[in-house]
Structure 1
Amino acid sequence: MKGMTCAACEVRIEKGLQRIEGVESATVNLATNSAVVEYKEGVTSVEAILEKIKKLGYKGQVRKEEEPHAGAQEEKAEAKTA
């Protein structure tokens, strides 16, 4: 997720995603620049979700399960310095 600068961005994206028919839940995290969206396949799609994010003025992309997010990398860095 790119383009978020504040907590209001989080709320705006969450509310926008939750308005999509078929989206069961959407949680956006500014600290990790990520979102977790649960949706019903066949009712909506990843493409529709990404398009909604784009229409809201942000950039989203699908992250593979095994890819760490920014927050995970920061947690590892903090653990090494502690």
Structure 2
Amino acid sequence: MKIIALLFMLLTMSPTLLAKPQSITLDLPTMNCAMCPITVKKALSRVDGVSSVEVSYEQKEAVVNFDDDKTHAAALVQATTNAGYPSIIKE
């Protein structure tokens, strides 16, 4: 009986409990003014599933932490592109 209860709990567990936090670094070569990082951070922060964003003007990059059940890298690239700052995923 305990095994059945355990299996039931595992099968009905919320998918968000199984989500893996991800981190990605985006290269932003067109950031060329002091206001750019603010715009990029705001655009990325609005993507559902993003938990934190750090943007560096000096390095022209953004480090984004996100929930891979709610968003994906392509959505983050699209968010910066829509804000006027096309980005490339850094390997």
TM-score class, shorter: 0.7 to 0.9
- Alpha-carbon distance in 2 for matches of 1:3, 1:62: 14
**1:7 Cα shift?**
1.7
- Alpha-carbon distance in 2 for matches of 1:56, 1:2: 14
- Alpha-carbon distance in 2 for matches of 1:49, 1:20: 7
Amino acid at match of 1:8: M
Identity %: 28
Structure 2 gaps, min length 5: 1-27
- Alpha-carbon distance in 2 for matches of 1:11, 1:27: 10
1:29-81 deviations in Å (ceiling 9; x for gaps): 110011100000010010000001110111211111xxxxxxxxxxxxxxxxx
Q: What is the root-mean-square deviation of aligned Cα atoms in Å? A: 0.7
More strand by share: 2
Superposed counterparts of 1:42-57, under 5 Å: 42-57=69-84
Amino acid at match of 1:25: S
- Alpha-carbon distance in 2 for matches of 1:7, 1:21: 26
Structure 1 gaps, min length 5: 65-82
Larger radius of gyration: 2
What is the TM-score of this pair, normalised by structure 1? 0.74
Kindly indicate whether structure 1 or structure 2 has the higher relative contact order, using CA contacts under 8 Å at least 6 residues apart. 2
Over 4 Å off, 4+ runs: none
2:50 pairs with 1:23 = yes
| Matched residues, number | 64
